[in-house]
Structure 1
Amino acid sequence: MEIAAFGVEEWLNDWENQAVYDIAGSSIDSLTVTEVLALGGRSQEEFLRELLQKKLNYGWIEGSPTFKEEVAKLYQRVATSQILQTNGATGANHLALYALIEKGDHVISLYPSYQQLYDIPKSLGAEVSLWQIHEEEGWLPSLDELRSMIRPNTKMICINNANNPTGAVMERPFLEELVSIAQEVGAYILSDEVYKPLDSRYDVPAIVDLYEKGISVNSMSKTYSVAGVRVGWIVANDDLSNLFRKYRDYTMICAGMVDDALASYVLQNKDAVLARNQAIVAENLQLVRDWVEEEPRVSLVYPSAVPVSFIKLDIPEEIESFCLRLLQEKGVLLVPGNRFDRPGYARLGYCTQASTLKTGLALLSDFLRQYD
C-alpha cells in the first residue's frame, strides 16, 4: 500500500523541537495535570489516591461508562452505545475510512483539510475528488461545485469543520444543504469536528445530529487542551458503530486507564475548560487582528473562534524556504502553506501563551522588513 508523506506532521516532526516561539500549533494552550485538577476543584491527592488504586489492565475496551456518558452530553440525540473511544481523532478518522472505503469507491474530500481525509482513501484504492475551498468565499467550498462532483457511486464525503488550516466554519444552513446532497446518493459524511468554535454566535451542529449516515469525530486535543492524553472518539448510528467495533479490534483494543481517567475528568469539568479557552481565543485573536492591521505584508481571512488561522504573506520567496529561515534566524515556527498545497500562505496557530504569540509576531514582522 502506497501513501503520501503527511506534509504537516513531517514538517513539525523535523522542526517543532527547535522552535523558541512556536506559533504553528493547532491546539489551545495545553493544560498541565495540576491545572486540570484545579479547574475541577479537586485536590491532587484525592485524584492520585483513586488513580493509584486502579489496576492497569485493559479496563473499559470502548471507553469507561463515565467517559461515554460525558461524550453523549456533547450531542443532541446520541446514546452511549454509539460512542467508541479512539486513539485521538486520527485514530477515529482512520477507523472510519478503514472500515468503509474499498478499492474503486468514489470519495469527495474537502481540500485542503486534514490530510488523512483524502490520502487514506487514496491509499485504499478509492478515487478521490478534491472539493476545493475558496479564499474569496471565506475559505468555504462551493455547494454548487459539490453538486457537480457527486456521483451515483459516491461512497463518502469527508470534511473537517472547522477547517484546518483556515479556521473556516460550515454553519447549520450550509451543513443541512450538504446533507441533502449526500442523501441523494446515500453517501456517508465523515466530519472531523476537533475544532469547536468557541463563540456562541456560531451554530455548528455535529453531523451525527443532522444525518443518519453522518459520522462525527472529535478528541481531547484541540478544544479541550489535553492533546497528551491521546483520547478521541467516533460517533455514528448503531449499525455503523457495530461495524466500527469489528475493525477497531484490529487497530487499537483500548486506550490507557490513566488517559481515560484524565479525559473523563476534563469532560466532567468542560464548562471551566471551555471558559478558560474562550478567553484565550478572544484575547489572542485580538492580538492577531491588531498585528495584521499594522503589518503591510500580511493579510488574513479571520478564523471563526477556533485556534488555527491561515495568513497570506506578500514576499518574493518560496514559502517553505522563508519559514525555515524564520525558524533558524528568529526561532519562530510557522507551518508553510505548501504543506497544504497553498504556496504563499502559512498556518499561524495563535492560541499559544499570549507572551509567546506577541514575541513571535513581533519577530515575524522584523523578519519581513528585509523585503521592504
Structure 2
Amino acid sequence: MKGTFFRNGAIIIEIAKFGVEEWLNKWEKEARFDISQSSVAALTLRELTALGGTTTAAFFEKLNSRKMDYGWIEGSPAFKNLVAELYQNVTAENILQTNGSTGANMLVLYALLHPGDHVVAPFPTYQQLYDIPRSLGAHVDFIHLEEDANWQLDVDRLAAIVTPKTKMICLNNANNPTGTLLERTALEQVVAVARAVDAYVVVDEVYSPLAGSSDFVSIADIYEKGIATNSLSKTYSLPGLRIGWVASPNDEIINLFRKYRDYTLISSGVLDNELAVLALSNREKILQRNREIVSENLEIVKHWIEKEPRVELVLPNYVPTSFIKLTIPEDDYSFCASLLKDTGVLLVPGSAFGVPQHARLGYCCNKEILKQGLSLLTRYLRKFDI
C-alpha cells in the first residue's frame, strides 16, 4: 500500500501534504494583494479591546497580576458559558477549548478513529477532515460535490455509500473552499442516514453564515452523536488567537475527548482565553461588522464576475470563502504562481483542494485590496484573449 510501512509490527500510514497550507506557507508573505484567505478581515488588538469599551493598555493592565500558569485547562467558566450560548442543546460542561478548529478536529478524529474504521466525507472539503482519518488507518469514501449542482451534498449518494460499518461522517458546513451551505433540512437527512447505522457526524462549523436567510443549524443541536467544532478564526476575525472548541450534547463523547485532550493540548493559555472571552462577550458587535464586510464585498465580487468571461462562480452563502472556476489554457497551479510573481495577487490554486482549474478567492479582505486584486486579476486574464 502506497505511503504505508511497518514499525515494530504496527501499521504506520504516511500523511499527505496539506495542499492549501503548503501553498500559503510558501507564498502568502510575498503577496501585495492577498485575496486568498478564508477569514473575514482580521481585527487588530486595538479594535478588539475597544469593543469592550477599553484600551489595549487598560485591558492588559488588569492582567498584570495574573500568573502565567496553565490557566483553565478546558477553558475558563466564562468562556465555556459564552460558547454554550451559541447552541440550543449543549451545556457549558460539554464545551472543550482547543487550539483553533484544527486542534478541535484533530482531537475528535484522534479520539474516535481506529485502523479499519469507515469514514465518509464530501470532496472537496477541508483536507484535514479526510487525510487525518486516512493517516490513522481509516478507510475514507468520498461523496463528490458537483459544481453543476451548486456544490451541494447529495444525501442519496451519501446513503448509498454509508454502510452498517460506517463509523463517522465528516462534513464542513459551510464548505471550504466552495462557501456553500448544507441547510437544516439536508443536515437532518444526513442525521437520519447516520442514526440508522449509529455513526458519528462531525461537522467543522467554522464557516457558519453571517447573513442571508439560510437555515443554518449546528449538528450538536440536532443529533445525539453530533460533534461540532468551531473557532474564533473565520466568522469572528481572530485567527491569531488560536482559540477553538468542541461541542456535543453527548456526555460520553465529551468525556472521551477529555482523556485524549490531556495528551494533545493541556490548555490554550491565560492570555488567549481572556481575549476569547472579550471577543465572545462582544460577539454581536463583531458579527455586525463582519456582516457588512461579507455583504458589501460579495456585491463587488458579483459585479466583477458578471464582467469577467474567464471566471465562473457558485456564489458563497455569506461566508468568507469562495471557489472560482478559471477558463484558461494553462494549469491553475502555474497560473496562480505566475499571477503572484507578476502582479502581487495571491489566490489558492484549486489543485491544492484536488480540484484543478479553480481557485479559492478570499473576498472578505480589506475592500480596497479586494478591488485592486480583482482589477489586476482581470488584466492578467486578458493575456489569454490574444
Please, what TM-score do these two structures have when normalized by structure 2?
0.95
The answer to whether the 8 A contact 2:117-2:139 is kept is yes
Aligned residue-pair number: 372
State the alpha-carbon separation in 1 of the partners of residues 58 and 195 from structure 2.
50
1:61 aligns with 2:73: yes
- C-alpha deviation, 1:112, in angstroms: 1.0
Contact 2:118 2:168 in 1 (8 A): yes
Structure 1: segments with no counterpart, 5+ residues: none
Counterpart CA distance in 1 for 2:375 and 2:33 is: 11
Partners of 1:212 and 1:321 in 2: CA distance = 46
Identity of aligned residues (%): 55
Match of 2:329 in 1: 316
User: Is 1:182 aligned to 2:158, yes or no?
Assistant: no
Task: Give the letter aligned to residue 319 of structure 1.
Answer: D
Aligned to 2:40: 28
2: CA distance, partners of 1:142 / 1:326:
35
Contact 1:40 1:272 survives alignment (8 Å) = no
Q: Deviations over 1:200-220 (max 9, x none)?
A: 511111001010000000001
Matched, 1:141 2:125: no
User: Residues of 2 paired with 1:169 and 1:85: CA distance?
Assistant: 25
Q: Hey, what's the Cα distance between the residues in 2 that align with 1:366 and 1:200?
A: 32
Match of 2:362?
349
**Within 1, Cα distance between the matches of 2:237 and 2:64?**
24
* Aligned partners of 1:108 and 1:154 also within 8 Å: yes
Would you say the 8 A contact 2:212–2:318 is kept in 1? no
* In 2, Cα distance between equivalents of 1:316 and 1:200: 36
Rounded Cα–Cα distance in structure 2 between residues aligned with 1:200 and 1:142: 22
Of 209, 225, 233, the residue aligned with 2:221 is 209
Q: Residue by residue, what CA displacement relative to the aligned partner does 1:165-191 show, whole Å, maximum 9, x if unpaired?
A: 000000010001010000000000000
Report the TM-score when normalising by structure 1. Answer: 0.99
> Which string of whole-angstrom CA distances, capped at 9 and with x for unpartnered residues, describes residues 305-364 of structure 1?
000000011100010000000000000000000111111100000000000000000000
Shift of 1:69: 0.7
Separation in structure 2 between the aligned mates of residue 85 and residue 294 of structure 1, nearest angstrom: 45
- Secondary structure of 2:228's counterpart equals strand
Aligned to 1:150: 162
Match of 2:50 in 1: 38
Report the Cα distance in structure 1 between the residues aligned to 2:44 and 2:130, rounded to whole angstroms.
33
Aligned to 2:301: 288
Are residues 1:132 and 2:132 paired? no
Structure 1 residue 231 and structure 2 residue 277: aligned?
no
Q: How much does 1:42 deviate?
A: 2.3
C-alpha distance in 2 between matches for 1:43 and 1:164: 35
Q: Secondary structure at the match of 1:3?
A: coil
Q: Secondary structure at the match of 2:70?
A: coil
Aligned to 1:14: 26
SS at structure 1 position matched to 2:178:
coil
Q: How does 1:158-307 map to 2 (within 5 A)?
A: 158-236=170-248, 237-307=250-320
Alpha-carbon offset, residue 131 of structure 1: 1.4
**Secondary structure of 1:51's match?**
coil
Structure 2 unaligned spans of 5+: 1-11
Higher mean displacement: 195-204 or 347-356: 195-204
Could you tell me how far apart the structure 2 residues matched to 1:77 and 1:147 are? 26
Query: 1:46 Cα deviation (Å)?
Result: 3.0
